Structure formats: structure tokens, C-alpha cells
Structure 1
Amino acid sequence: MIEYQIRGENMSTTDAINNYIKLRLEKLNNYIDQKNNPIAHINVRKYNEKTFKIEVTIPLPYLTLRAEETQSDFYNAVDLVSAKLLRQIRKFKTRVNRKSRERGFKGIDFNEAIDPVPSDTNEDKKIDVIRRKNLSLKPMDIEEAVLQMEMLDHDFFLFLNSDTNQLDIVYKRDDGKYGLIETENVESSK
């Protein structure tokens, strides 16, 4: 079973709210392998305009599922987030596993279940990469990476972290602060 960590901002989450969220996200249990003890981080935010924003993040070993929705009706927002997550699972289950098998990898370990999500014709379209860039990465610390990002006037910057010798990403958040995504190598099983 997925463990739920529900947090409210500008509101308290009642048992009814928690139960509704768990009920709508319960379908995900059919698709996510439970041996990894998945945890769903759920943030429920209420704004002054009487709108609700639901954010759900579920980190998995090879994939992070994330969806958010802002609606005037709390229950509608939860329903839409649930539908987005199910579409993401279906998309990754088919595309990534197909590509992984072609390359000899095991693929993402989703449970095999009958798929109640209707097929979306847009999901079968080819992804067109319209631009490529080559980077020469020099080792730098986080502070230098943020300065480089600001000089380039980008929202994110990929760099080789001189402290960890790993590829990391710094990014500018909507609140004007900065975030860091740290990477780690994952062994692939053939």
C-alpha cells in the first residue's frame, strides 16, 4: 500500500479530506510495485480566492510521478490529479518499458493490472526533438552554477558538481529562490 503524507497549507486537513484523497489515489496501488514502500507526498493549499491547489509527488526508484491541479472545487482538483497520475503511469509503463526492453534493460517495475485508463491517441505520437545542444561541463560548486544560470538568464543549469563529481541541476523557483536537483547513479539490471 502507498503511504500517504498529507499536509495542508492555509487550511487544516480533516479526516474527510484525507479519506477522499486516499480513496481517489487508491487506484495507483494497482500499478505501483509495493516492495519499494512508496510514499505519496500530498500538499493541499487553499488560496484566498477560494481555490484549492493539490500537489502529489510519488518518488519511485526510476521515476518520480508528480501532478498538480488548481480548481475552485477541492474534490474536482483531487479527481483531476488522480487522472493525471494514472495517465502518467500508463504512458511510462508502455513507452519506457518498451524502450528499455529494446535496449536490454528490465524496465520500470509496475504491477501488471488491467488498465482502466482509456487510451489517449496523443500518447502514441512520436516525440520530436527540435533542438540539440552540446555542453562541455567543467566542475563547479553550487554557487558558481547559480551565477552561471543567472548570467545566461536561464531557469535551470546543468553542471558537474565539484564536491560530489555528479551531474546536478540548479533551478530558479517561482518564489524567486533556488533549488538543487542532485543526481545519483542507478545500477541497471540486465
Structure 2
Amino acid sequence: MKILITGKKIELTDGIKGAVEDKLSKLDRYLHEDTEVKVTVSARKAKQKIEVTIIPINGPIIRAEDSEENLYAAIDVVYDKLNKQLRRYKNKLKGKYQSKGQESIRFQNIEDNAAEDKDGEFDIVIERHKKFDMKPMSPEEAVLQMELVGHDFYMFRNIDTDEISIVYRRETGGYGLIEHE
């Protein structure tokens, strides 16, 4: 596991780096050795925030974040969130199938040596399917359409790139754009 730690508006001391690396290294049992783990530590007024994104070789991207007055408490909370998510994905890997004949979703590159969750498995059920026409438009037009329909995101075909893109409303205000790489 490769841990990359960056700081925003905070000086990263050896103690902070060591605490993050020590805590996240416990997740090694779930992850392939080439898995990239990006950690961002930031400070705002009295709150310390830590964001962790795990980018596996194959499988889903796993992300967790937390803000606390004490950075070390935030590190513990994020570790607990990631550990729970990885255990769930590991259980899914064991080949548990969903009921009612639905296909199982399989996740890869998570090793098989962690403790079982009490509930054993979880089901992913897609409750609604939706199809719609996508006329080419600019990201600005897509934001206007998103506001008109009252959603927090809007998928559209970008007129400049002819690719599918998504605009979304950010929690901190403003808008974001997601594009295919």
C-alpha cells in the first residue's frame, strides 16, 4: 500500500504523518501492495479535517472523511469508516449472491483474512431505472437544467468534447464538473 499524504493550510509534522501511516497501515490486510492511498489533511478554524481516498488496482474507489477538533480523533474515525467499508466489500467478494435471482456484484483485490461482519452480507438493489435523451450542451446550460429540475446533479453530453459529463452542486457552494479522462 502506497500512502501519499498532503496538507492544506496545515504544516504536516512527522507526528501527524506517523499517526496517519500507523493507523492506515492496519488496512494492509485488505489491500494489494500497489494500491494507492491518498490522504489530505486540512485545517479550518477550530476543525481539523482528514480525507482518505483508496484507489485500488481493480475494484471500487473507497473514500472516507471526517472533521474533528482533534486531528487524531478524526484519523481514528476515518480508519473505522474505511475498515467497515473494506470488510463489507470483502464479504461481497466471498461469493455471497443476492436474493431473488439478481446478479452478484463482485469486488476484486481484497484479501480474505479479516473478521466477518455480524450481518454477513448486504444487498445492492437498484430500485429505479431511468432513460432520457441527452442533447449536446455546455456545462453552463447543464447547470441551468439541473436548477430547473431541482436536482443536485445533472448528466449531459458536453457539446465541446461530445463525451458524457456530470455537473453537481457542491456542499460548500458553487458547482463541480465530472468528465471522463
Q: TM-score range by the shorter chain?
A: 0.7 to 0.9
Per-residue deviation, residues 41-88 of structure 1 (Å, max 9, x unmatched): 211122222x21111112233311100111222211101111111111
Structure 1-normalised TM-score?
Answer: 0.76
Task: Give the distance between the partners of 1:120 and 1:76, measured in 2 at CA.
Answer: 25
Distance 1:83 1:104, change over 3 A: closer
Query: Quick check: 1:171 aligned with 2:168?
Result: yes
Q: Secondary structure at the match of 2:76?
A: helix
Which runs of 5 or more structure 1 residues have no equivalent in the other structure?
185-190
Aligned position for 2:109: 110
Aligned position for 2:65: 68
Task: Give the distance between the partners of 1:98 and 1:160, measured in 2 at CA.
Answer: 37
Between Structure 1 and Structure 2, which shows a larger proportion of helix residues?
1
Task: Give the distance between the partners of 1:90 and 1:58, measured in 2 at CA.
Answer: 14
AA of the residue aligned to 1:42:
V
Identical-residue share of aligned pairs (%): 33
Aligned position for 1:180: 177
Structure 2-normalised TM-score?
Answer: 0.79
Per-residue deviation, residues 107-145 of structure 1 (Å, max 9, x unmatched): 3222424214x6243x74555666x35231313243322
Shift of 1:11: 1.6
AA of the residue aligned to 2:74:
A
Which runs of 5 or more structure 2 residues have no equivalent in the other structure?
none
Task: Give the distance between the partners of 1:104 and 1:67, measured in 2 at CA.
Answer: 24
Which of 35, 38, 41 is equivalent to 2:38? 41
Distance 1:134 1:103, change over 3 A: closer
RMSD over aligned Cα, in angstroms?
2.9
